[in-house]
Amino acid sequence: MDSDYGIPRELSDLQKLRSLYQPELPPCLQGTTVRVEFGDGTTTADPADEPTITKVPDAQIITEHPPIRVGIVFSGRQSPGGHNVIWGLHSALKIHNPKSVLLGFLGGSEGLFSQKTLEITDDILSTYKNQGGYDLLGRTKDQIRTTEQVNAALATCNNLKLDGLVIIGGVTSNTDAAQLAETFAVAKCPTKVVGVPVTLNGDLKNQFVETNVGFDTISKVNSQLISNVCTDALSAEKYYYFIRLMGRKASHVALECTLQSHPNMVILGEEVAQSKLTLFEISRKIADAVQARSEQDKYHGVILIPEGLIESIPEVYALLKEIHGLLRQGVDVEKIASQLSPWASALFEFLPPFIRRQLLLYPESDDSAQLSQIETEKLLAYLVEVEINKRQKEGTYKGKKFNAICHFFGYQARGSLPSKFDCDYAYVLGHICYHILAAGLNGYLATVTNLKNPVNKWKCGAAPISAMMTVKRWSPNPGATSIGKPAIHPATVDLRGKAYELLRQNATSFLMDDIYRNPGPLQFDGPGADAKPITLNVEDQDYMGRIKKLQEYLEQVRTIVKPGCPQEVLKAALSVMGSVTEVLTAMSSSSGNTSSL
């Protein structure tokens, strides 16, 4: 950590222009009076603990705005747009009371633990508005979880007399935010904890959260590069490009990029997990594609691989679990191979040395493998080559030599200037954080729904993070089943959803016809500048909108079925509504709770 945080810096012409861009606010956040509506209480489906329900009044117009002190921390991995959450929050704080103070924690969670802060001012923000990275404040560890960490955070919030602590991050950071909120409440610490969904993985997704800050930018930058590679492949017609994409366990980034760029193939982790495809079945599937294309005299192609794929392959997952178990027991890396079960050992020994080394890396804080370090794309390219060579010897493959080039796209997208959408979304979320704190809510996540519409139709809200948490049963060892702590689990790609359906409809054409599409470099002006993720556009996610629609239906039934209506209408309505109520009661094992601004 150095002391250079927040210093003004030289910006390029484009960066300067972007720093002057002022994101729009939806009407509900304009002006100084904001109406806050509260939904129902919430429970977490946790069989062990009773959740602490924060009691909230039913509705409220907040007119008084005493000065407040808020701390903000980058907790998750850097995702484009993060800086705008800080800007949005700072702006909302100062609009409502210029005496309010925003403290940024320097060096991420470590700054939170050690009380290193920087007071955010408009001057400091000036060269960071609408800019990428997390370099205004930096980030370090991506968890606030151990007793020591939680106690340090508590001490910091007490010492700095914070009314609010805003945590910027993804599923892990927001799980931590919820736990911290509970701990603070129990410890009678007055600091309210608020989470903000900022993660390039796009996996913090549920009925309250449509997409995450950074996902749009990452998808656009990656799609630009994937499309460039597609064009390159088609120009020279001699290489298969295997491209692995950063995005953690779920395949959202890979799906979105596929819909944007139309590469020949994508292997979604969710498909593999559902069909229980083995590593060899996947390689054979790709080899079949290579063979089918060779029969049309095509010797080039582009294949996308989400970094989480490796963990979705059942036998590799089992192997990883064994390795991680041994590592946690303190077994020396050199000795792990000899202590694997016979079956895992057979797979391990079969793999090429470079992958073996990567599988032996210590797992991440969320118990997953170090996905960014495992070159699944090289493993698959290698296995496909082996398979094609085998077929060539057997005479079933008659085409030219198979040539693969491998890529990993992630770091080169993560620091990008954020797209207009991410700039707007993050800025609005920053404003919402203020209103959550002003309403005195603890353990809530700032949310915006109806995102596929223009900003002036966006619906701002907040939802208790605990309502997004579930409990997973998992088996650390064969034979034993354990119940985990409640956590936000990464949402996987919905294989019954519209985005996936769109992929399936086009998969054959993508595979065979090279209908590559180049969305081009991220633009801030002109066509494409206001484009949003395709998955966001095709999905039907307007949860709050649909609740309003339901309320309209109920109102219509009430209007039709009132004193004076015919008996048969009343009877029919009663019968139908009785069944509906019964079914819905059965379905509702847990219920959500939202607050909309």
Q: Which residues in this chain contact a second copy in the complex, by CB under 8 A?
A: 1-2, 4, 9-18, 74, 77-78, 107, 131-135, 138-140, 221, 224-225, 227-237, 241, 296-298, 354, 405, 407, 409, 411-417, 514-528, 531
In angstroms, give the least distance from the CB of 381 to a second copy: 14
In angstroms, give the least distance from the CB of 408 to a second copy: 8
DSSP calls for 483-522? E---BPPPPPP-TTSHHHHHHHHHHHHHHHH-------S-
304 three-class SS: strand
Of the pair 229, 384, the CB lying nearest a second copy is at 229
Of the pair 84, 492, the CB lying nearest a second copy is at 84
In angstroms, give the least distance from the CB of 564 to a second copy: 56
Of the pair 215, 543, the CB lying nearest a second copy is at 215
Of the pair 85, 597, the CB lying nearest a second copy is at 85
* CB-CB contact of 423 with 556 (8 Å): no
Of the pair 29, 230, the CB lying nearest a second copy is at 230
In angstroms, give the least distance from the CB of 465 to a second copy: 24
In angstroms, give the least distance from the CB of 154 to a second copy: 25
In angstroms, give the least distance from the CB of 143 to a second copy: 14
1 CB-side CA count, 13 A: 18
Distance, in Å, from the CA atom of 313 to the CA atom of 271, rounded to the nearest integer, reads: 10
Of the pair 65, 414, the CB lying nearest a second copy is at 414
Distance, in Å, from the CA atom of 240 to the CA atom of 237, rounded to the nearest integer, reads: 9
Return the number of other C-beta atoms located less than 10 Å from residue 450's C-beta: 18
For strands 240-245 and 192-197, give the pairing. Answer: unpaired
C-alpha dist (Å) from residue 585 to 44, 545, 549, 552, 580: 17, 22, 20, 20, 8
586 three-class SS: helix
C-alpha dist (Å) from residue 197 to 26, 71, 175, 448, 468: 18, 17, 11, 10, 12
Of the pair 44, 217, the CB lying nearest a second copy is at 217
In angstroms, give the least distance from the CB of 74 to a second copy: 8
Select from 487, 436, 382 the least CA-distant residue to 29.
Answer: 436
Judging by beta carbons within 10 Å of its beta carbon (0-12, 13-18, 19+), is residue 147 exposed, middle or buried? Answer: exposed
* CB-CB contact of 462 with 447 (8 Å): yes
Of the pair 484, 528, the CB lying nearest a second copy is at 528
In angstroms, give the least distance from the CB of 311 to a second copy: 21
In sequence order, the 6+-apart residues with CB closer than 8 A to the CB of 450 are: 457, 458, 459, 542, 544, 545
Of the pair 2, 50, the CB lying nearest a second copy is at 2
In angstroms, give the least distance from the CB of 354 to a second copy: 8
In sequence order, the 6+-apart residues with CB closer than 8 A to the CB of 495 are: 270, 271, 274
Of the pair 322, 377, the CB lying nearest a second copy is at 377
In sequence order, the 6+-apart residues with CB closer than 8 A to the CB of 278 are: 313, 314, 315
Distance, in Å, from the CA atom of 566 to the CA atom of 564, rounded to the nearest integer, reads: 7
Distance, in Å, from the CA atom of 380 to the CA atom of 377, rounded to the nearest integer, reads: 5
Of the pair 142, 424, the CB lying nearest a second copy is at 142
Of the pair 328, 400, the CB lying nearest a second copy is at 400
In angstroms, give the least distance from the CB of 11 to a second copy: 7
In sequence order, the 6+-apart residues with CB closer than 8 A to the CB of 435 are: 29, 34, 36, 62, 92, 460, 462, 597
In angstroms, give the least distance from the CB of 4 to a second copy: 7
* CB-CB contact of 499 with 535 (8 Å): yes
In angstroms, give the least distance from the CB of 576 to a second copy: 47
Q: DSSP assignment, residue 363? A: P
